[in-house]
Structure 1
């Protein structure tokens, strides 16, 4: 039923499993497409996932179905706010307050929108601009990209950032669509990212006019004598760097800087030496100097990106993953590459793991479990899931929290989630009796009597007199033998069983077991064969006496 799917979706949303929540709400909508609550809940899940355009579409559908329901307007306001459409968000909250003037959620949302800084969206970036972006093939995928929407909102709040990010092809594409002109230029093919910089030095800034000194004499090739000498020193430094003579390389690079202090390449090269010497803080300082010099002399954005990446790598070596991610993101804002994007993804995983470990607190875990127990005893199972999930995050190695959450999922008929928690529970503690019993009950509910029988058998090995395990074992035995033909049909529909039956080697082994029961002991010594035989026993296709 749609209501059951909605409850499962609520439980998944409370547990932070947004993808599953969206999937369950979608199934509920398929069964009951005129229920406004399903669209509202899916809008919330999309917003949590960062898919704000999808969240807006569901909020608008909610309002279409039930225009006098305030929560629909709250969902719409939230989605519009995240999309940077502050004026539209304020209107959505105001429209909702017409139906419920004292609704705190709408009042808070309206207050937050009004207090936020005015964006340049009202003039430079009109509301209808978002519709243009959503429809144009060059930008329609960007609307659902949380990273891009965050960047766009930053630019709205601070127009100076728009200038800083003009090199970002996403911003160029967006402005091209909105302004109706091509700002993107020809596609560039990035060159190989060499270890050392070998680009020609940029032209120095024009010197200030002085009344007495004559203008500097330029050579025929456009470089001054100092620039030529600087390049020669850099080349010597590169040779020493390749030989890992880092101190000598530093001498040459520093001479190059003395001769031409406005060329950021030389600072980058000094930073590369410090990185190899594991002098990571010195490396960072040099890269920061390089970026400042590069900004002043309008250096190639790829060089600036390289400096930011080197800072990121230095912080990564120092295991300061948050700062590393920040500087790799700065590198991406200058020049986007798949390599840097992959590094950012790896860093996000490391940061998440660090945060997970920092969040662990067994005392707070017990407090969350007790709150979960209260909600469970009051029949508020979705709320109980939320607190048991908090307990698990606070202490992920405690099996009883998984067992308790599995009990909630069972009450919500979310058997697949409950089974997953039971398996985690007995994995953490194979002697956790209640975990095996709960697993057996869930498998019974899923009509998998043979597998439930195995779970109850494990429980009875731990406590042969346990009443729940005995009753479960008896009822599963009766169910497994009540209709052998039906049991065989279900077993043969299992792809894993089909593969075992089709395996010529297994068919030969089964024939041997039938003709010579003693051969079973020899075959069970092979773990792979033993696993397949156990699967056939659980499915009810064979019995061993």
Structure 2
């Protein structure tokens, strides 16, 4: 490839192109030759943060193979990332028209609807995504969150239960299911799922913190103290954790420990104080 051509790229784009060319060693075109290569080059540009250049490559891939739904979907994703929602929706719909049973464009279209506040439309598209890719736990999670938002809580819980069945060792899905159970008043089930979340994600302090809150709400004070201390060990600078642990120690009758953690929580800023107030309201509900 000649020097003049290289000079036409900014540094980031040039690096992306060189990476693409190294992967395509043995082919020495002046530019990508096929739609697939255009997409590869576009992906490399995206990785460099050169979204506008990537869009040009994705457009060319679509021009070369307009009947390939994946190229339309990828172009739509780039548009969505660039806050060009109308163009993104148009590409997703083209992909769906070409291949209606392909899950990815339905999911991407649902994401656009969700961001625009069109929750019922989002639910419909998330449903199709899970229908056509039933073993994708993240699609189940996204559908569950949308269902919860529109008030279909029982079905939302069912979707999270399926996500947990599909990915039983992923702490995130256990956490989300536990959160749903807690909000639905199923405290015992919530505790079980939050326990699983801490088992499969032992380095996440927030999961241990939330487990501690559930234990406290169930009046398992010693278990609550253990979980909250674990959260603080993982994130000792989180003042909200100290404030909650102080409350639990006080309820357990250990005033000395309560004062210690209350002192550590004294420097809470307005955000921390507001967050603590929300947490306490949720725990009391």
Q: TM-score surpassing 0.5?
A: no
Higher radius of gyration, 1 or 2 = 1
Band of TM-score, shorter chain: 0.3 to 0.5
TM-score under structure 2 length normalisation: 0.41
TM-score under structure 1 length normalisation: 0.22
